Amino acid sequence: MLPIGMVGAGFNSERHSNFTMDEAKTMMTLWCMFRSPLMIGAKLTELSDEDLSLLTNKTLLTYMEDGYKAHQVARDVDHAIWVTENAATGKKAVAVFNISDKAFDFADYKSDVFAAVSTDSFNGIDIWTKEEYKLTADYSKAINPHAVLAIEII
């Protein structure tokens, strides 16, 4: 069950989820890439706009509906990289997860990403911010602790 928004009702400890927004985006990205059932553990009538945006990201949800071939392509103590494909659109998405307690730069792991998508550059759209990128050998972007950089390849 995904703890998003107000949780703990009925247990005398109703509170907002302890996840930061970065952690919630990480959880949702993995959940959708895995195509796991979206069972929400929250008071739906009390979701904030920010919480609701986690559950209604159309790009991410297409990978929940039609994703396949999701697999991890690299991992160490600081990061994990996953790739998935969308059977309906033919598009791919790649996600770089920061599983550490310190920020790092995408540039530190770009060779793993490029190997995963079999190219040394590509255009992409950030699944969460909708920002467009040209990912090349010179591309650099900080990824916060417990955050994800999820990009749909266009």
What is the average per-residue pLDDT within 102-121?
Answer: 92
Is the predicted pLDDT of residue 108 greater than 80, yes or no? Answer: yes
Q: Determine, yes or no, domain membership for 23.
A: yes
Is the predicted pLDDT of residue 137 greater than 90, yes or no? Answer: no
Q: Determine, yes or no, domain membership for 66.
A: yes
Handedness of CA 27, 21, 18, 6 (dihedral sign): negative
Please report how the helices 21-34 and 58-66 are oriented relative to each other, as an axis angle in degrees rounded to 10: 30
- For residues 94 and 141, the answer to whether their CB atoms sit within 8 Å is no
The predicted model scores a pTM of 0.92
- For residue 56 the two structure tokens come to 């209604």
Q: Determine, yes or no, domain membership for 105.
A: yes
Q: Determine, yes or no, domain membership for 73.
A: yes
Domain count, the chain: 1
Kindly report the CATH number assigned to the domain that includes residue 39.
2.60.40.1180
Q: Determine, yes or no, domain membership for 1.
A: no
